[in-house]
Amino acid sequence: MASFSSKIQILKLNDIEKGVSAKSGKPWERHTAETMLLDDNNLCLKVGKLDIAPAMRGTVNVGQYIASFGLDVPDYGPNQGRITSFLTGLMPMPAGATRTPPVATAAPIAPVAPKV
């Protein structure tokens, strides 16, 4: 199995989603977190939802991490036959390496001269 790591910032842990599989009738749960992918300067590249593995639930908090991921090809479900990634570990970023990514601000608007 292939693995890799990436800098992330978990912004918010979402409520656990629960349901019952229409095919098997078995219950399922999914826990996600609103997460930023960070570049090498800790600037936001993209924001999305990160699936939290069942074994990691209760141990994940808001903060900046080096996230470890694995790659696999599921043999069932909606991703059957597709290469997918999954979270395998989180290591808090060292205190000196973290910072809050800047919030994008609009450029100042130049005053418009009134039409005469």
Whether residue 63 is predicted with pLDDT greater than 70 in this model: the reply is: yes
Domain of residue 90: give its range.
3-18+28-96
Q: How far apart are CA 98 and CA 89, in angstroms?
A: 18
Give domain status of residue 11, yes or no. yes
For the chain, the straight-line distance linking the first and the last C-alpha, in angstroms and rounded, comes to 70
113 band by pLDDT with thresholds 50, 70 and 90? low
pLDDT band at 22 (very low <50, low <70, confident <90, very high): confident
In a domain, 83, yes or no: yes
To which residue do tokens 């992918």 refer?
37
Pick the residue with more confidence: 97 or 84?
84
Q: Is 108 within a domain?
A: no
Asked whether residue 109 is assigned to any structural domain, the reply reads no
In a domain, 102, yes or no: no
The per-residue pLDDT of the chain, averaged, comes to 83
Count: domains in the chain: 1
Residue 69 lies in a domain: yes
pTM: 0.73
* Residue 111 within any structural domain of the chain: no
23 lies in some domain: no
